[in-house]
Amino acid sequence: MLVLLAGAATTALAQTRECNQDDRAINQWYFGYKAGLDFNAATDSIPPSALTDGQMDAPAGSGVMSDKDGKILFYSNGETVWSRNHAAMPNGTGLDGNRLTTDGPLAIRKPGSPITSGGPTSYYLFTQDAQGGPKGLSYSEIVIPPGGQGDVVAATKNQRLTLGTTEKMTGVLHKDGCDVWIIVHGWGTATSGYENRGDSFLAYRVRPTGVDNIPVVSTIGALHAPSAAAQGYRGQMKASLDGERLAVARFSETPGDSNNSTVELFDFDAATGKVSNRRVIESGAGPYYGVEFSFSRSRLYATVLATALSPTQLLQFDLNVGNVPASKQVLPLQQKAPVNLGSLQAAPDGKIYVARENQPALGFISYPDSLGANARYVDDGVQLGAAAAAWDCPTSAKPRCCAWASRSSSRLAGRFPFRPTRPCPTRILTNGYSKSRTGPFSALRRRQTPYLPSRHLPATTT
């Protein structure tokens, strides 16, 4: 989870250190068919290194969580959770997720749980069933003692929140700087209650006291149900870095289905959990699958799966213009052989990574905030060793500060106007006693140029 759960600091240095420790939560990725990447040493001239010790098969989404130093704590395909020693955790099998879910399990640190003290740290792992299946949306609590492997807590394993959801899920930090919103979309035809709400977004608030069982319901946009598109449960949902916008890829298996195959933008209120202001910015080009915002929120990317009528595509939209649909550009892929592009995921090194179906390498967008071909998509970009990617990269929530912002454009400086109104209490153990400390976010820093293979020259940004 890439948000600062505001803790206390008596100096700016301490604030930055606390923030950066939480911000390394996805510095190590495990995904696909025993694939992995380590971003801890990645710089503008050094790519992430392949990890070969993963034990997971995740044909679709996965979830990861690293410690304050960027070292893996656990990873999951929604069915099993593996600890840092790559063995299944105690109580870590039989989770109510599904390895075929697009936006796979989403891991967050429990608001207020310590990350720097000598006590145990608690995490939540949110899972969804695939294809709108009967297990719905659930969460499990994971507790990891200092230096330990951790356990899935039996008493809070597979806690059901609702039934009938698509495979879309993302997380956003609450505007108070402490709590977290877990956002999903319903699947079905119900028009009341919280189950099978294919007409609505559901936002669940996670507090230091636990997970709210009653979501904020936003009835807006198109119906997500088998009657609209049989496979409409597929496709990603992402939040912008500032948490103020949502993007949704609506998937239809029917060629040319402009009613149910769309890319959509929404506004999100991180104070109330409400979704509003639907805009359809693209439709009918094919089955839309992946979406991701650039770091400055100025661009949106989407992938289109190949059909009998058209090849796979990587689309870019300029969100700074009045007519966003007219800004669409199809980015050159320069593929050596046709390969489907799947999910998109912004990474700690300032690039957006692109899953390539069943391939031993990921693609990446080198300069996500640049327009058109200057964004520089590299198709066979980062090798995975003997492992292979599948449809998706790890699912994560969006940060609002720290290391990610440092890799973003300096234009981000004006995108974070809020300050915590109710700072999150973090227990710091000192000589056996607890203290509560609070503090604002650290200042944003300027992004460095991301890595490109030496055969590519740096692109001109705009």
Q: What per-residue confidence (pLDDT) applies to 398?
A: 56
Q: Which residues of 22-61 are buried (b: 16+ CB within 10 A; e: fewer)?
A: bbbbbbbbbbbbbbbbbbeebeeeebbbbbeebebbbbbb
Q: What per-residue confidence (pLDDT) applies to 394?
A: 78
* Residue segments in the chain with a per-residue pLDDT below the cut of 70: 1-22, 116-118, 397-462
Q: What per-residue confidence (pLDDT) applies to 255?
A: 85
Q: What per-residue confidence (pLDDT) applies to 420?
A: 38
Question: How far is CA 44 from each of CA 295, 350, 364, 450, rounded to the nearest angstrom?
Answer: 16, 9, 14, 4
Q: Which residues of 302-315 are buried (b: 16+ CB within 10 A; e: fewer)?
A: bbbbbeeeeebbbb
Q: Does the global pTM surpass 0.75? A: yes
Task: Please say whether the structural domain 12-437 has been given the CATH code 2.120.10.30.
Answer: yes
Q: What per-residue confidence (pLDDT) applies to 391?
A: 72
Q: How far apart are CA 230 and CA 420, in angstroms?
A: 42
CB-based contacts of 18, cutoff 8 Å, min separation 6? 4, 7, 9, 115, 116, 426, 439
Q: What per-residue confidence (pLDDT) applies to 117?
A: 61
Q: What per-residue confidence (pLDDT) applies to 438?
A: 31
Q: What is the DSSP letter of 88?
A: B
Q: What per-residue confidence (pLDDT) applies to 22?
A: 60
Q: What per-residue confidence (pLDDT) applies to 299?
A: 98
